[in-house]
């Protein structure tokens, strides 16, 4: 017995899920469920593996991911995290994830896992199974709409098993029932005739590529603290995120539907805020199947020069020295020649940037606690436009701003600042094409505890 994992919430959502499933359409934000209980992930295995290659090589860190179609097991095999938190809004999906993990941990081998997954020896009919073109469940979509009373009864029985049973042979058979036609263990992917998207496990690829890769995955799951949570990922806890390595795998949420994208970005921002507040060395990789990877290095505070201006100047100079620099300022304060740039142009942030200007680094020197108004009407809108322009035209951007988290500011002063979340959100659309590397650190402020933030953004 592997412990009880009752999920009474599954029963509560069963009617909603069944209603969405019987309607015969893909659920979207606000529908309350998925058309099919388990088709919650559409992660192309080739892109998953390419995203893995963009994550800095490390082992023993913290991993947070979406349960979805279990593509996160590829990250476990590669990264061997010490702590893994798997989140899904669908309680039935969470229960399914727990079940698959227990099957992996208890299997004698890769093929034994597959046999348990399908309740039949794999090798005995491997050739026939591989010869089948496409996913039978997808080719016969009408069979999965649960318009037939017997199919509806079968689904209700499966839900009851998840909700009421401990992890035993009866519950294990649930996985078999939902997978015996091959819709969870595809062979090869879209390039081999499989319908694009419904990849889930991909036998022969990733963590199921070989007995050795399966054994590494199994060992990693046994060694790690693996927890599951039925929650909106945007509201998932961030207090357990500790360096030196943290990876957030958002599956396909950033591109699937608006509510999923918003939740994905919200968690990424909250993770940045939590790690930055700790002032500890850490590295956070934000990964999504159909977007490039953003990796942020959190640099503990170190005083490089005495004085508010000089410390900030020293930290910005590391990214600007010897390069062509455009420095945008709110008023009179500037770094100018202090940055040791090969070329340097300083202009007011409120002025249009010369279309003919070329620069390697844009420095947004936007400390505005002094009340200097560089915007004309709508600060947030004008900043977003300015930010977007420099991000498109420069390979690097450095931002100097106050840290809203500092206890030295009142609410009125904080309202004049551009928060860390507002600095990060415009970066997410860039990930459609660009891989980004960020450095985030504090610079000394006006008082003993006041800190400014220096954010460096580089396109890889």
Q: What is the DSSP string of 89-151?
A: S-HHHHHHHHHHHHHHHH-SSHHHHHHHHHTS-TGGGHHHHHHS-S-HHHHTGGGGS--SHHH
Domain boundaries, the chain: 8-296, 302-459
Q: Would you state the structure tokens that stand for residue 217, as one six-digit string?
A: 């995955």
Q: Which one of 3.10.20.30, 3.40.50.150, 1.20.1250.20, 3.30.365.10 gives the CATH number of domain 302-459?
A: 3.40.50.150
Residue 22 half-sphere exposure toward CB, CA atoms < 13 A: 16
Structure confidence by residue, pLDDT tens digits, 220-256 = 999 999 999 988 899 999 998 988 999 999 998 888 7
Query: Which residues make Cβ contacts (< 8 Å) with residue 234, sequence separation at least 6?
Result: 262, 263, 264, 265, 266, 267, 270
Cβ pair 38, 178 in contact under 8 A: yes
Spatial separation of the C-alpha atoms in residues 190 and 31, rounded to whole Å: 28
- Say if CB 443 and CB 315 are below 8 A apart: yes
Give residue for tokens 């959100």. 425
User: Cα–Cα distance between 30 and 313 in angstroms, integer?
Assistant: 48
Are 329 and 362 within 8 A, CB to CB?
A: no
Round to whole Å and give the CA distance between 126 and 145: 28
Weakest mean pLDDT among 129-138, 267-276, 384-393, 403-412: 129-138
Query: How many whole angstroms separate alpha carbon 248 and alpha carbon 318?
Result: 28
**pLDDT at res. 436:** 96
pLDDT band at 42 (very low <50, low <70, confident <90, very high): low
pLDDT level of residue 415 (50, 70, 90 thresholds):
confident
**CA distance readout (Å), 205 to 56, 75, 282, 449:** 21, 13, 31, 51
Tell me the average pLDDT of the chain.
Answer: 74
Predicted local distance difference test score (pLDDT) of residue 23: 25
Question: Is 70 exceeded by the pLDDT of residue 194?
Answer: no
pTM over 0.75: yes
Question: pLDDT band for position 445 (50/70/90)?
Answer: low
Weakest-pLDDT range from 5-19, 306-320, 329-343, 412-426: 5-19
* Rg of the chain taking only CA atoms, in angstroms: 25
Q: Is the pLDDT of residue 158 over 80?
A: no
Are the CB atoms for 173 and 182 separated by under 8 Å? no
Q: What percent of the chain has pLDDT over 70?
A: 69
Could you read off the pLDDT of 94-150 as tens digits, one per residue?
777 887 888 899 999 988 887 666 544 444 344 444 344 333 433 333 333 334 455
Instruction: Return d(Cα 285, Cα 391) in angstroms, integer.
Output: 20
Measuring CA to CA, how many Å separate 1 from each of 108, 169, 171?
17, 10, 12
- Check if the beta carbon of residue 85 is closer than 8 Å to that of residue 230: no
Neighbour-count burial of 258, counting CB atoms closer than 10 A to its CB (0-12 exposed, 13-18 middle, 19+ buried): exposed
pLDDT tens, position by position, 402-411: 888 877 788 8
């Amino acid at each position: 017995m592997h412990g009880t994992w009752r999920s009474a919430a599954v029963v509560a959502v069963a009617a909603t899920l069944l209603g969405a499933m019987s309607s015969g359409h893909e659920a979207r934000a606000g529908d309350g469920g998925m058309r099919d209980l388990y088709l919650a992930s559409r992660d192309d295995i080739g892109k998953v593996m390419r995203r893995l290659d963009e994550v800095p090589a490390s082992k023993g860190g913290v991993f947070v991911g979406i349960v979805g179609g279990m593509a996160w097991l590829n990250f476990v095999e590669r990264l061997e995290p010490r702590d893994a938190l798997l989140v899904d809004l669908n309680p039935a999906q969470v229960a399914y994830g727990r079940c698959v993990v227990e099957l992996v941990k208890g299997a004698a081998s890769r093929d034994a896992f597959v046999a348990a997954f399908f309740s039949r020896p794999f090798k005995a009919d491997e050739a026939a199974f591989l010869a089948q073109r496409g996913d039978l469940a997808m080719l016969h979509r009408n069979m999965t709409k649960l318009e037939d009373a017997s199919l509806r009864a079968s689904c209700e029985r499966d839900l009851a098993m998840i909700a009421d049973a401990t992890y035993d042979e009866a519950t294990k058979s649930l996985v078999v029932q939902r997978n015996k036609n091959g819709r969870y263990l595809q062979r090869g992917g879209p390039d081999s005739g499989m319908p694009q998207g419904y990849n889930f496990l991909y036998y022969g690829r990733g963590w199921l590529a070989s007995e050795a890769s399966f054994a590494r995955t199994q060992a990693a799951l046994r060694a790690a603290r693996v927890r599951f949570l039925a929650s909106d990922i945007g509201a998932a806890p961030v207090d357990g995120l500790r360096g030196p390595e943290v990876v957030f795998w958002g599956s396909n949420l950033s591109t699937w539907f608006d509510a999923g994208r918003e939740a994905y970005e919200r968690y990424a921002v909250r993770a940045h805020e939590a790690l930055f507040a700790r002032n500890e060395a850490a590295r956070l990789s934000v990964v999504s199947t159909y977007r490039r990877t953003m990796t942020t290095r959190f640099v503990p505070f170190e005083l490089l020069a005495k004085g508010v201006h000089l410390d900030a100047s020293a930290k910005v100079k590391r990214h600007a020295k010897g390069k062509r620099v455009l420095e945008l300022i709110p008023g009179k304060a500037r770094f100018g020649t202090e940055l040791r740039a090969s070329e340097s142009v300083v202009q007011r942030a409120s002025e249009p940037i010369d279309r003919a200007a070329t620069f390697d680094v844009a420095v947004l020197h936007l400390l505005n606690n002094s009340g200097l108004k560089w915007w004309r009407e709508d600060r947030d809108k004008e900043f977003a436009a300015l930010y977007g322009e420099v991000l498109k035209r420069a390979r690097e951007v450095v931002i100097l701003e106050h840290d809203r988290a500092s206890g030295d500011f009142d609410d009125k002063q904080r309202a004049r600042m551009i928060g860390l979340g507002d600095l990060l959100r415009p970066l997410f659309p860039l990930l459609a094409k660009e891989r980004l590397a960020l450095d985030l650190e504090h610079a000394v402020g006006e008082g003993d505890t006041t800190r400014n933030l220096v954010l460096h953004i580089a396109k890889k």
